[in-house]
Amino acid sequence: MGYKITDFIYLHILIIDYESITKLLDTISKVKHLRYLDISKSGISELPKSIALLYYLQILKLERSVKLPTKLRKLINLRHFEVDLCNANQIKLMPKHLSRMTQLQTLTIFVGWSDEGYKIEELGRLKNLKGQLSLLQLEQVKSKKEAMTANLVEKESIFVLYFEWSLNGEDSGDNDLNVLEGLQPHINLQGLCILNFASELMPSGIFVENLIKLELHSYARV
């Protein structure tokens, strides 16, 4: 006799590490006490809309290419949102209006878009972020002022930052420089990696007093 996920309504931790499992059923919403969900080693490519009903979920770990429902922001108790960093540009979408998930402490990746609800300003209200954060598709940020809305300078517990412009982005060195200036981090930053930055100059005030490691990688844009 087989079991259904609804047979475990008091489950707190669910880890799926079989690639042969390719779908998470809508009935996952019945496991209302779930606190920890890890599908990063599974074959699941899309989260069901019903996952937004898991109000007590605190930790969510995903494989990089999982498509997210737009109302994932309803997980207001989520503290750790981790996406596989390998080939991270393949992530389908960030949660719309991520700024409403104010309890977030871990956010491994933020992929910026120009559409409302997906802009870099969504990071501004996330005051509890810590550890490492990767900001991708920075060519979507159009000015220093817009970059400043991420409010990195007040995020005292972020110690490593990764800034990446896409290879297929428009070659605009002046704007890249302005955006980088707007992404001024807190003085506690220890590690900074910058990829595909088009400007020949670095900000005059770069960047922080306690920086231990700085990496610059550049590839030709097409």
In CATH, what number is assigned to the domain containing residue 18?
Answer: 3.80.10.10
Residue 100: count of CB within 10 angstroms of its CB: 17
Is 162 in the same domain as 88?
Answer: no
Of residues 165, 149, 159, the one with CA closest to residue 199: 165
Whether 107 is in a domain gets the answer: no
Task: Report the length, in residues, of the chain.
Answer: 222
| pLDDT tens per residue across span 65-89 | 788 888 898 999 999 999 876 544 4
Domain count, the chain: 2
- Residue 102 covered by a domain: no
88 in the same domain as 147: no
In a domain, 105, yes or no: no
- Tell me, what's the pLDDT at 222? 44
211: left (phi over 0), alpha (psi -120 to 50) or beta: beta
pTM: 0.86
Residue 113: inside a domain, yes or no? no
Q: Which domain holds residue 89?
A: 1-93
Q: Residues 85, 129: one domain? A: no
Cβ atoms 120, 146 nearer than 8 A = yes
Same domain for 84 and 134: no
β-pairing verdict for 59-62 and 80-83: parallel
Instruction: Say whether both 154 and 71 belong to one domain.
Output: no
Domain final position from 71, 93, 115: 93
Interval 79-122: pLDDT, tens: 999 987 654 445 556 788 999 999 999 999 998 888 888 999 99
Q: What pLDDT sits at residue 124? A: 95
Q: Please indicate, yes or no, if residue 178 is contained in any of the structural domains.
A: yes
Nearest to 195 by CA among 217, 215, 172, 162: 217
Q: Please determine, for residue 218, whether its predicted confidence score (pLDDT) is greater than 80.
A: no
Q: Averaged over 16-41, what is the pLDDT?
A: 91
DSSP secondary structure string for all residues of 54-103:
-TT--EEEE-TT-B--GGGGG-TT--EEEE--TTGGG---PPTTGGG-TT
pLDDT over 60 at 169, yes or no? no
Question: End of a domain among 47, 74, 93?
Answer: 93
Same domain, 89 and 129: no
Residue 50 placed within a domain: yes
Same domain, 88 and 134: no
Report helix, strand or coil for 7.
helix
What integer best gives the mean pLDDT of the chain? 86
Q: For residue 116, with 0-12 CB atoms within 10 Å meaning exposed, 13-18 middle and 19 or more buried, which class applies?
A: exposed
Residue 51: inside a domain: yes
In terms of domains, do 85 and 132 share one?
no
Verify that 84 and 2 share a domain, yes or no: yes
Q: In percent, how much of the chain has pLDDT > 70?
A: 89
Alpha-carbon distance values, 72 to 48, 51, 76 (Å): 10, 7, 9
Contact in structure between 3 and 26 (CB atoms under 8 Å): no
Concatenated DSSP letters of 97-154: TGGG-TT--EE-EEE--SSTTSSGGGGTT-TT-EEEEEEE-GGG---HHHHHTT-GGG
Together in a domain, 84 and 3: yes
Choosing from 69, 93, 117, the residue where a domain stops is 93
DSSP string, 177-195: HHHHHHT---TT--EEEEE
Q: Judge if 129 and 221 occupy the same domain.
A: yes
**Shared-domain flag, residues 89 and 132:** no
103 in a structural domain: no
User: For residue 86, what pLDDT is reported?
Assistant: 59
